[in-house]
Amino acid sequence: GGRWHSVEPLLHASGVVSESGGPTDGRTPHTYGTTKLCNHQPVPTGLPLHYKLLPQYLKQHNYATHIVGKWHLGYARREFTPTYRGFDSHGYNKQYFNHTACDTWPDECGLDSRHNMTFTTDGTGVYSTHYFTDRCLHIIDGHNSTHQPLFLYMPYQALHAARAKHTVAPQNYIDMFAYIARLFSAANRRYRISHLLSHPDYQLSNVSFPYELEIVISNFLSIIILGNGGSNWPFRGNKTELFEGALRVPAFIWSPLLRKSGYVSEALIDVSDITPTILDAIGDRHVLSDETRHSYGVHYFAKVVTSRRPSSMCRT
């Protein structure tokens, strides 16, 4: 496990996550020219197409690649969307229950639920985290792990921000933590965070469980990273800022390949390190150095496996 993992103040194009959107080649936002806010639907741009994403690298190793959840690398052209950038499939919807988007003006909303390039309505009324998990389980159940490795990327909408009015959870999870509201108030931040966080935590365990029953667990690698800080006390600052409250987040990794487990690493690992670390894990360390010589990310898998602290490295 890792106590702290460095992310971008707003995850628009950072290493493995681009505004909670997509794995990239280990660069930081300014190298892409994407230093402003994230690419919402009305924005007529996207991550430049000449940059390869992690699933495109994994395709060179015959991986099945799927994304279930958020995407903010561009919508203006089909070529900016996930299935044109290395993913075999993409399931997505906006908001938590009604799956609509109001990105232009508050009174101009419309359905924003898709499977690949097709609009869907089957998830209307279903909490998005639950809907995403069902889609992940469908992918896992239909995958033949003996013939092809699987890369499954799951950028849930939850937790997002506990103070946001549109951030909600299923009623049974709200009721589960009603005692906090009774002790403090319904406006208490801990109360909101508790029921918002407990649901994705439970759903992640459902996604991981099927692998415990298959031989593929011998090569299973799970990486879970919290999004950029929204309520990261006691650190100063918040989302969109450059203080530690936005940059330092918990993360953990689990795999039977680890020679030591159950420890906390104090090493600093940046979000841009995830792509080269995954490629290192599958034995293809040279790809990034050959194709993207200006990559900011560092491959750490060999050190993580042996529980050694990654050495301090000068990043340029």
Residue 120, domain member (yes or no): yes
Q: How crowded is residue 143: how many other Cβ atoms within 10 Å of its Cβ?
A: 17
**Per-residue confidence of the chain (316 residues) as pLDDT tens digits?**
444 455 554 443 333 344 433 456 677 777 776 666 666 666 777 888 888 888 999 999 999 999 998 887 888 889 989 999 999 999 887 778 877 777 655 567 777 888 898 888 888 888 888 899 999 989 988 888 778 999 999 888 877 655 555 567 888 888 888 888 888 776 677 777 787 788 888 887 777 655 544 545 567 888 888 776 566 778 887 777 778 877 787 888 888 888 877 878 777 778 788 888 888 888 876 666 655 555 677 777 877 776 665 554 444 4
Is residue 82 within 8 A of residue 67, CB to CB? The reply is yes
Question: With left for phi above 0 and alpha for psi between -120 and 50, is residue 52 left, alpha or beta?
Answer: beta
Sorted by sequence, the CB contacts under 8 Å of residue 82 that are 6+ apart come out as 22, 67, 71, 90
Residue 167, domain member (yes or no): yes
Domain total in the chain: 1
**CATH value at residue 48:** 3.40.720.10
CA distance 307 to 150: 25
The helix/strand/coil state of 51 is: coil
Write the CA distances from 240 to 225, 234, 316, integer angstroms.
Answer: 17, 17, 23
Cα distance from N-terminal residue to C-terminal residue, the chain: 27
Range of the domain at 176: 37-210
Residue 76, domain member (yes or no): yes
CA distance 269 to 267: 6
Residue 111, domain member (yes or no): yes
Which amino acid belongs to residue 54? L
Residue 131, domain member (yes or no): yes
Q: How crowded is residue 110: how many other Cβ atoms within 10 Å of its Cβ?
A: 12
